[in-house]
Amino acid sequence: MTAQLIDGKACAQAIRHEVTKEIEQLKSQNASFRPRLAIIQVGVRKDSSTYVRMKCKAAREAGIEADFISLAEKITEQELLAQIASLNEDPLIHGVLVQLPLPSHIDEDKITTAVTASKDVDGFGTFNIGELNKKNGKPFFLPCTPKGIIELLKRNGVKIAGSKSVVVGRSDIVGSPVAELLKSEDSTVVMTHSKTENLPAYIADADIVVVAIGKPEFVKGEWFKENKKGAVVIDVGTNFVEDSTKKSGYRNVGDVEFNEALKYVKMITPVPGGVGPMTVAMLMQNTLIAAKRELESGGKLCKFEALSLDLQKPVPSDFEISRAQKPKHISQVALEAGILPSELEPYGSVKAKVNLKLLDRLKDKEDGKYVLVTGITPTPLGEGKSTTTVGLAQALGAHLNKTVFANVRQPSMGPTFGIKGGAAGGGYSQVIPMDEFNLHVTGDIHAISMANNLLAAAIDTRMFHESTQKDAALYKRLVPAKKGVRKFTLTMQKRLKKLGINKSNPDDLTPEEASRFARLDIDPETITWRRVVDCNDRFLRGITIGEAPTEKGFTRKTGFDISVASECMAILALCNDLNDMRERLGNIVIAASKAGEPITCEDIGCAGAMTALLKDAIKPNIMQTLEGTPVFVHAGPFANISIGANSVLADKMALKLAGVDPTLTEEVKKERVGYVVTEAGFDFTMGGERFINIKCRSSGLTPDVVVIVATVRALKVHGGGPEVKAGAPLPAAYLNEDVELLRKGCANLAKHIANAKQYNLPVIVAINKMSSDSDLEHQVIKEESLKAGAEDAIVSNHWEEGGAGAIDLAQGIIKVTQEDTNKDFKFLYDVEGSVEDKITKIAQNMYGAKDVHFLPEAQKKIELYTKQGFSDLPICVAKTQYSLSHDANLKGVPTGFTFPIRDVRASIGAGYLYALAAEIQTIPGLPTHCGFMNVEVDEDGEIEGMF
């Protein structure tokens, strides 16, 4: 019998043509689809070079970009691993192949295993081989040669199911994998090898014989003589034997004695021209599969896995719930969020920082949807704004399978150990672990404190030295000679530029120029920079410094603020990159000279060192919710005198991670786009107004929707309900249905809705459900919300049910953000107006004031800042959060009042002026019973008693 040849070349060509056609079709549907294969070759072996050229040529013909990376033979194992790690992380690379063999000093197993499983198009890695050998395993890729063998059999009409197969050879690359694939196709498989006794007897009974033993013509043709059925033979061998008749001096033979086997077998693959071409075709097919997976996943690095909740009733304490949940490792949270390992800087297992280089990698992505969560005017009963932020994120991510980030500010430890408690959310909608969240996180607030206090020390030190030295000595000490050479530092060069002194050599300054440069001549009465501490230490509100005899009588009165009230914190929240932070720190105005000129941090020479202290703090922190969705926790500017929101950088980072490829169709974009749920301090009228007019101006971002959180109980307070006292039982009005009281209170909600609509932004009201609410009360809130202009008002029970309780709210958010509803977005005021006009517009349009009264100190400061060129900045009004007005006792929607501005201060580095409307304390005090009294650490080092 003369065997039929199995033409591997023709079969491979057909497969490569199919791959090419599919790539062309996908490219026509999506211009960004560009399959890309990276091939690493170490050394210059001729056979390896031939194979690499063949693979690169096949890739180009198929429409696959092939990056050939040639590395020196002497490269170290660590250097090669670093190269592979870089390719693993490159989102533009879909397949990574390391050409074997490698030099003897490199561990091949270690190298092939280092290729990430989702890019291991050779299929040699531990994961893919391991999954192949598991029952119901799910490898990303099948090894190319074994996969090609199965494809050859199928395309040549060979029946595999029910057949008897013999595999000769047990290598991890061919023998073992092909045996597993034959078994998966329902063949009965026998694995043999060179030591198998009576091997011809196995072959005599086989339907299919796969030979991959690596020995030339090991399987003799006559062994098939007794096989009356006529076997199908797949010869995987590629061996070179001496042949003097050939020009090269050798010829290529397989592992089967080909010419003799032809007489007895039914079908056989030639060598060359059999399995070899199929291996390359399968490599192209695997690369296409990898690129399609990336396309279908929308660029996600791995699938999101939600954490399940064990919901209990009654709902346990926040701390018990947090402690009961086992968080995912932060590296898994980050990978699911689309953050590369090289962009992650873990601080233990549950929190990490994210490097800003992520923004460069994702700069071309279209932003995700930006959801701003605010509330009604706060009451002692609380509205659950943070809880809603977390619950909404859990609903979007863990239940609706959307890419989502909750972005919240880092809480100060002052309130944590005071009376307010933590800010991690509550019930089954929390950031976890709550103790890590509410304490140090990654130390950003400590870094802020150090930077702030360094500047404070520098100010007093500078005044001390100026008062005790003459001009020449002062200049000499400020610009000392090092190894006989004097140089101006970068910060000194900036001061020279400000003074209009165009000289670079310190020795060239005239005495008058040296004096102007060295002597700041700070007016102590104008110093606004204070020291900070992250503790509610009321006795530091006013202090006298310089009492030590070494200070030679140089004393002055000053005080401390809480760390989050520092302008450094506002700068951290508002800066757009490291250079922007450095510039803003330099622009901080700390005082005026006796001549009335502004004195800056740059003049003091402190900005570079402060930037160094904050170089890690600028990187956003990532944690997770109870259901495993990612949370950015970054920056925490004091909500009364600053923006009270998390950082611009965290929002920008999250929006890119939640974003989409701009080349996708609009329909696909709508399906894939993710959501960033970020929170403003206090209510919309206070926190939301600042968020938009200050933060959005700095970031260039615009919310897609405003969520206003309200509760039945809090609205009843604004409707004129009985006074609520801490620790006292709630009056009956808050526990029983009272529609009339509630409807009156809805006026406060309506005012916030109307205020948000002034920016042409859509509004959804989140009704934070409580057990004492009635359906009728919820209906009343919805009626009043729609009447006031809200797109919808949706009941959410996330506190009791986690993300599942916020699904309706999440679906409402999705619906509104799919529409182009904010195309007419506008700010409340133009920054070019006068300070008085901007404050008046905020007070009248947002708060409902009749007019504004500027006290003498405020008028004096406005004149000074206008003269100094700072009038064209946005305004932050510092006032009570408990009323739309300046008076905490005025509930509901007060009107006709005069809004008093007692002082105006400057945060030039942060980029705004802030007007003080009442006696706002910049460092709170501690109550009689403090939060810290409940905190303990058990014998295992676990913190207990936080709330």
Secondary structure class of 185 (helix, strand, coil): coil
* Whether 55 is catalytic: yes
Q: Which residue from 627, 634, 646, 652 is spatially nearest to 576, judged by alpha carbons? A: 652
Secondary structure class of 609 (helix, strand, coil): helix
Encoding tokens for residue 759? Answer: 């920016």
Domains in the chain with CATH codes: 4-294 (3.40.50.720), 338-442+617-817 (3.40.50.300), 445-614 (3.30.1510.10), 835-916 (3.10.410.10)
Catalytic pick among 122, 207, 603, 651: 122
> Per residue in 51-89, is it b (16+ CB within 10 Å) or e — as a string?
bbeebbebbeebbbbbbebeeeeebeeeebeebbeebbb
Confidence at residue 415, expressed as pLDDT on a 0 to 100 scale: 67
Confidence at residue 421, expressed as pLDDT on a 0 to 100 scale: 56
Confidence at residue 313, expressed as pLDDT on a 0 to 100 scale: 92
Give yes or no for a contact between 702 and 825, defined as CB atoms under 8 angstroms apart. yes
Element (H, E) at 373: strand 369-375
Cα–Cα distance, 678 to 631 (Å, whole number): 10
Flag residues of the chain having pLDDT under 70. 1, 414-423, 726-727, 820-822, 922-936, 943, 945-947
Percentages helix, strand, coil for the chain (3-state, rounded to 5) are 40, 15, 40
pTM: 0.88
Share of the chain above pLDDT 90, in %: 79
404-408 and 543-545 as β-strands: parallel, antiparallel, unpaired? unpaired
φ/ψ bin of 268: left (φ > 0), alpha (ψ from -120 to 50), beta (otherwise): beta
Cα-to-chain-centroid distance, residue 851: 44
Confidence at residue 927, expressed as pLDDT on a 0 to 100 scale: 61
Confidence at residue 249, expressed as pLDDT on a 0 to 100 scale: 79
Catalytic pick among 55, 300, 385, 716: 55
Write 777-783 long-range contacts (CB < 8 A, 24+): 777/712, 777/737, 777/739, 777/742, 778/712, 780/739, 780/742, 780/743, 780/746, 781/710, 781/712, 781/715, 781/742, 781/746, 781/749
Preceding peptide of 314 cis, ω within 30°: yes
* Angle (deg, nearest 10), helices 807-817 and 385-394: 80
- For 599, phi then psi, to 5°, come to -105, 125
Sequence-ordered list of residues with C-beta below 8 angstroms from that of 391, at least 6 positions apart, any chain: 425, 428, 429, 796, 798, 799, 802, 803, 805, 806, 809
Give the tens place of pLDDT for each residue, 315-349: 998 888 998 999 999 999 999 999 999 999 999 99
Sequence-ordered list of residues with C-beta below 8 angstroms from that of 500, at least 6 positions apart, any chain: none
> Per residue in 318-356, is it b (16+ CB within 10 Å) or e — as a string?
bbebbbebebbebebbbbbbbbbeebbebbeebbbbbbb
Confidence at residue 251, expressed as pLDDT on a 0 to 100 scale: 83
Give the tens place of pLDDT for each residue, 132-191: 988 889 999 999 999 999 999 999 999 999 999 999 999 888 999 999 999 999 999 999
* Whether 122 is catalytic: yes
Confidence at residue 418, expressed as pLDDT on a 0 to 100 scale: 59
In angstroms, how far is the first alpha carbon of the chain from the final one?
86
Cα–Cα distance, 762 to 812 (Å, whole number): 12
* Whether 353 is catalytic: no
Cα–Cα distance, 300 to 287 (Å, whole number): 17
Catalytic pick among 99, 325, 430, 881: 99
Confidence at residue 299, expressed as pLDDT on a 0 to 100 scale: 74
Number of H helices, E strands in the chain: 35, 38
Give yes or no for a contact between 772 and 811, defined as CB atoms under 8 angstroms apart. no
DSSP 696: I
